Structure 1
Amino acid sequence: MSRIPLPEFEELATTHVPFIGQLGIRVEQLDAGRCVIRIPFRDDFIRPGGTVSGPIQMALADIIMYGVVLSLIGRVELAVTTNLNCNFLRRPRPADLIGEGRILKLGKRLAVGEVLLYSEGEAEPVAHVTCTYSIPPQRG
């Protein structure tokens, strides 16, 4: 069971991170150590060549990892990305982009996870992302 309810995470992600709110994300699943988010396709996500731009893909992966981390530690707004590595595997077609993230290791100060991104309706991932989040020390 997630340590942050899905509606609370969705509100935090879209209101407190305005750029993410502009993307129109929809959190489809949030369980302990796992998160699935969709970005509905928009024409302004396309870069020359007819593919969904890399910054959109990386933004999706980053907010997914934020969800993964908060699902395990609860609402800690100052948990931040310290590293994000994205391998673009194939050209995402103009469609909704769906990402699924999971935790690989959760420590006291760092969390490491991975995200696979897919074009809606496609079985093969378009990107593989690894991400590290810094968890602030507990006060008190």
Structure 2
Amino acid sequence: MNNSRTRTGITPADFDAIMREKVPFVGDMGVRTESLEHDTAILRLPFSERYLRPGNVVTGPAIFALADIALYAVAWLVVPQADLAVTTEATVHFLSGAKPGDLIAEAKILKAGRRLLIAECHIRSDVDNSLCAHVIGTYAMPPDQK
């Protein structure tokens, strides 16, 4: 795990604590931040039987939740307090069934403006590294906190 500080000062441990405290649903999912760097966040969703759907694949809502959390993580790379950043739009392309196992999300900032952040996220299966989903998301960023 990368615990180095980002330009906003947030570490992976900081983001995990924020999610547990401020978004308990995410804490309940057990998502872990593996890396936060200049414009990229890598998160892991540990496998749980409760994420399976018929066909023995991980359900879409679990995949999208992981993507949305990873996109939220990159908002914290832009502003030091992104509590008020919210998803305004997301497009999800489910590309293949995710086999039972951990999922890895890699979110990257495409454009960070004063009001909007646009980022993309790739979700891969840790079982076979297959690309399961591609998500483009837009976040409304909080106003300057001066």
- TM bin (shorter chain): over 0.9
How far apart are the structure 2 equivalents of 1:120 and 1:22? 20
How far apart are the structure 2 equivalents of 1:121 and 1:52? 12
AA at the equivalent of 1:106: A
Per-residue displacement from partner, 1:60-102 (whole Å, max 9, x unpaired)? Answer: 0001011111112122200111011110000000000111010
- SS of residue in 1 equivalent to 2:76: helix
Give 1:88's match in structure 2, choosing from 94, 112, 118: 94
- SS of residue in 2 equivalent to 1:73: coil
Give 1:49's match in structure 2, choosing from 55, 59, 71: 55
Identity of paired residues, percent? 38
AA at the equivalent of 2:96: R
TM-score by structure 1 length? 0.95
Structure 2: unaligned runs, 5 residues or longer: none
Give 2:46's match in structure 1, choosing from 28, 34, 40: 40
How far apart are the structure 2 equivalents of 1:23 and 1:114? 21
Give 2:17's match in structure 1, choosing from 11, 25, 30: 11
Aligned to 1:74: 80
Aligned to 1:111: 117
- Contact kept in structure 1, 2:99 and 2:125, CA below 8 Å: yes
What stretches of structure 1 move > 4 A for 4+ residues in a row? none
How far apart are the structure 1 equivalents of 2:145 and 2:129? 44
TM-score by structure 2 length? 0.91
How far apart are the structure 2 equivalents of 1:22 and 1:81? 20
Q: C-alpha displacement at 1:139, in angstroms? A: 4.3
How far apart are the structure 1 equivalents of 2:20 and 2:98? 24
Q: C-alpha displacement at 1:5, in angstroms? A: 2.2
Q: Which moved more, 1:41-50 or 1:120-129?
A: 120-129
How far apart are the structure 2 equivalents of 1:121 and 1:29? 19
Aligned to 1:31: 37
Aligned to 1:136: 142
Structure 1: unaligned runs, 5 residues or longer: none
How far apart are the structure 1 equivalents of 2:45 and 2:76? 20
- Contact kept in structure 1, 2:75 and 2:82, CA below 8 Å: no
How far apart are the structure 1 equivalents of 2:21 and 2:87? 18
What's the C-alpha RMSD, in Å, of the aligned pairs? 1.2
